[in-house]
């Protein structure tokens, strides 16, 4: 027969499981909303945007902004914040969506992406946009910037982390590997590099263009603690981010296996949707599918 303490511990465990389930569901909903916002930002009938890589990394962005990072939307420059860089800045519209959903700026701004003088430009702009830490999109540079930020935090004695999402096509940039060596040599353990490994770049398959595989073995050889995950499994994403918190003396690389165009049936695993214009039919289909996903998550 179970004693009262055993019953109490079991109840506590079940309560924690329920809370974790609710957190995962909330983040899944945020990821679906980010994808919907991405589609709304791109629009249709002549407008062009980076759909594929924004959607492949949406779950990771949702987990960072909705779960892991310390932030204050009312004070974007708060010194106690964690920092996030989208090294593949062309996918920055997913970050715009997350920032708007958290209240860094009005959601109405999402409908004015790339307009002259607008808050939200084609690539992240730290001067114009609250919550943006650096201008990114010149591929290969983001991890070097993240290293500098992480070292500055260490010098200041701040316990924060810097998170940097890179593309797998971006792994062909030599500066990535210089930064990887530097982070390992300086034991920068408050940096987490996340590789959005959707296996496609603008013109086709990574393996057929510039094959940078195998990524886990390479990052391990460069002195990083490596975690491989399904980049669309929210529980795995959260576990990886939590594991990174406990790594000392070396940086962490999360290899996230993802699907380019995730969540939009006609765009999944299609290189042609890396940066493209949507037809009116595609636009409406994408919004319909994402609305159905949001409805299912609200049940």
Q: Which residues of the chain have pLDDT under 50?
A: 6-8, 10-11
pLDDT value of residue 7: 41
Annotated domain spans of the chain: 4-297
3-class state of residue 196 by DSSP: strand
- pLDDT (tens digit, 9 = 90+) per residue, 6-41? 444 544 555 678 799 999 999 999 999 999 999 999
Q: Phi first, then psi: what are they for 108, rounded to 5°?
A: -60, -25
Whole-angstrom Cα distance, residue 154 to residue 160?
Answer: 8
Strand partners, 253: 193, 226
Whole-angstrom Cα distance, residue 169 to residue 262?
Answer: 17
> CATH homologous superfamily for 4-297?
Thiamin diphosphate (ThDP)-binding fold, Pyr/PP domains (3.40.50.970)
Residue spans of beta strands (DSSP E) within the chain: 48-49, 83-86, 162-167, 191-197, 200-201, 204-205, 225-230, 252-257, 276-277
Say if CB 66 and CB 82 are below 8 A apart: no
pLDDT value of residue 10: 45
Say if CB 281 and CB 63 are below 8 A apart: no
pLDDT value of residue 12: 55
């Amino acid at each position: 027969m179970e004693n009262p303490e055993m019953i109490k511990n079991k109840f506590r465990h079940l309560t924690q499981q329920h809370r974790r389930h609710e957190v995962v569901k909330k983040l899944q909903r945020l990821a679906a909303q980010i994808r919907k916002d991405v589609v709304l930002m791109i629009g249709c009938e002549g407008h062009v945007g980076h759909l594929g890589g924004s959607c492949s990394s949406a779950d990771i962005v949702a987990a960072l902004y909705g779960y892991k990072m310390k932030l204050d939307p009312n004070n974007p420059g708060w010194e106690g914040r964690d920092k996030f860089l989208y090294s593949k800045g062309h996918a920055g519209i997913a970050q715009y969506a997350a920032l708007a959903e958290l209240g860094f700026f009005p959601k109405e701004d999402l409908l004015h992406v790339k307009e002259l003088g607008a808050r939200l430009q084609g690539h992240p702009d730290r001067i114009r946009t609250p919550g943006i830490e650096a201008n990114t999109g010149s591929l290969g540079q983001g991890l070097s910037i993240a290293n500098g930020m992480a070292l500055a935090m260490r010098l200041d004695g701040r316990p924060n982390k810097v998170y940097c999402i890179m593309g797998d096509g971006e792994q062909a940039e030599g500066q990535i590997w210089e930064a990887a060596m530097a982070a390992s040599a300086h034991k920068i353990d408050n940096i987490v590099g996340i590789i959005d490994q959707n296996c496609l770049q603008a013109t086709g398959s990574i393996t057929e263009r510039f094959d940078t595989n195998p990524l886990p073995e390479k990052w391990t050889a460069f002195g990083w603690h490596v975690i491989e995950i399904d980049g669309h499994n929210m529980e795995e994403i959260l576990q990886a981010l939590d594991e990174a918190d406990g790594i000392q003396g070396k940086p962490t690389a999360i290899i996230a296996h993802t699907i380019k165009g995730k969540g939009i049936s006609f765009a999944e695993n299609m290189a042609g949707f890396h940066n493209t214009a949507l037809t009116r039919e595609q636009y409406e289909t994408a919004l319909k599918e994402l609305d159905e996903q949001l409805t299912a998550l609200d049940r």
